Amino acid sequence: MRCFTDPIYHLNTRLQFSADTSVHAKVQDVQHIYDQYAGMLMGYIYDVVKDHKMAEQYLADIFIAVAAIPDVLKTTDENIYCKLQLLARKKLTSYFDTVKECDVNETVKNRPNKFLSSMNTRQLTVFCGIHYHGKNVTAIAAEMNEEEDTVRRLLKEAFLIIRRSNDAGVH
């Protein structure tokens, strides 16, 4: 199995040897966060981009950003992984912008999984619009000529499908 610790060393390693102990502590904090969450974040990014090299580059970019602002991850009681996912989504917006609009059948074919295959066309359109393209409910409602409440209901149904599929495998 390949180790995903490589990108963290692309950070400015001179900081590790700095006489400033606060900088050294920040590097250790970032290293600790990387050790704890890089694997999960890599899986999340890879699931979006479907390219190992590209996913590694995004991962490195995210942790470079974390190194620049490590205190942001410690300022509130929010889950660190959720914050890292938000950073990943922000970094991935350029990727989302390059992805053409979802053709539902193409999405199911190119990203085959039991969750997408279980959704109907409308649920899939809403889920892909929000998850893969970063659109908001208002934009999707306008595109589908539906009420925002309908789009929210469809998104909720999509997540229920995912949740039920996950629960079926856990005893």
Domain count, the chain: 2
Q: Judge if 159 and 113 occupy the same domain.
A: yes
Q: Is residue 15 part of a domain?
A: yes
Is 147 inside any structural domain? Answer: yes
State whether 93 and 108 are in the same domain. Answer: no
- Rounded Cα distance between 63 and 86, Å, is 13
Same structural domain, 67 and 134? no
The residue among 106 and 21 whose pLDDT is bigger is 106
Domain range spanning residue 137?
A: 104-169
Indicate if 86 and 22 belong to the same structural domain.
yes
**pLDDT tens figures, 23-59:** 556 777 788 888 999 999 999 888 878 788 989 999 9
Q: How many Å apart are CA 66 and CA 87, to the nearest integer?
A: 9
pLDDT in tens, 83-128: 888 888 888 876 665 555 556 556 556 666 677 778 888 998 888 8
**Is 1 among the domain residues?**
no
Are 16 and 94 in the same domain? yes
CA atoms of 135 and 149, how far apart (whole Å): 15
pTM, entire model:
0.50
Which of 98, 121, 153 terminates a domain? The answer is: 98
Residue 112 domain flag: yes
At 29 the pLDDT is 79
Q: What is the 3-state secondary structure (H, E, C) of 55-82?
A: HHHHHHHHHHHHHHCHHHHHCCCCCHHH
